[in-house]
Amino acid sequence: MDIPMHIIAHIETAFPSKFGIPRQSGLVPSLRGTIVFAPEYRNPDAVRGLEGYSHLWLIWQFSQNFKNGGAAHGWSPTVRPPRLGGNKRVGVFATRSPNRPNAIGLSSVEIESIEYSADRGPLIHVRGADLLDGTPIFDIKPYLPFTDSHPDARGGFADEKKTYALSVSDPGQLLSVLTDEDRCAVLEVLSEDPRPSYQSDPQREYGMEYGMWEIRFTVSDDSGTLTVTAMQRRRT
């Protein structure tokens, strides 16, 4: 049975590629994004009352998975979570891996503001998104603290790694070309260790795209330090 799904919006973020995107929403609160509705959903009445909420649930599509053959084509009953070093397998439904039977993502984001644009309709500016630029959104629902928040809930293996962070060094002050807000966001993203979990070569230089920039860095696992080595405008 076919279940119709309509893309109601897309999100604009500073991540033109997947590498560097936080592994969960809310990990980097400084990251900004803007939800732009598709033309047929740009009715201001559709967001009436949304200003009374502080957070949203976004239901969205792992669009890069579909470009690579579709969700069902790439799914596996077990996956190797990055926070377990990329070596230990657990069940896909015990993770938030994108390689699922249906490539659907779920993110909780903070509403920063709601703007009304004459040419693009209502725009929802959010913080803490973990989405690729241009990600299709299927639905938006308000976050309800009295039902959605469970302070005593258990987080499985993710609880064991939630305090993991790298120390970020920028000896050449290369990140100073960014605005203070973008620099803060980039430092938080880098501290979360964007590398694939199975790579730990201290000589390897990695590159992360953020907005108009490509940021290059190395990581020493012995010292737990990420060092920014170069920064250049990326080619578009």
Bridge partners of residue 125, in order along the sequence: 34, 113
Element (H, E) at 45: none
Closest CA to 13 of 183, 133, 129: 133
Predicted confidence pLDDT, tens digits, the chain (236 residues):
778 889 999 999 999 999 999 989 999 999 999 999 999 999 999 999 999 999 999 999 997 755 544 455 567 899 888 777 767 899 999 988 888 888 899 999 999 999 999 999 999 999 999 999 999 999 999 999 999 999 999 988 877 766 678 999 999 999 999 999 999 999 999 999 998 776 777 889 999 999 999 999 999 988 999 999 999 998 76
Angle at 117 between CA 54 and CA 38, to 5 degrees: 80
What is the set of domains in the chain, with CATH numbers?
A: 9-148 (2.40.30.70), 165-233 (3.30.2310.20)
Q: What predicted TM-score, i.e. pTM, was given to this entire model? A: 0.90
User: Is 155 exposed, middle or buried, given 0-12, 13-18 or 19+ CB atoms closer than 10 A?
Assistant: exposed
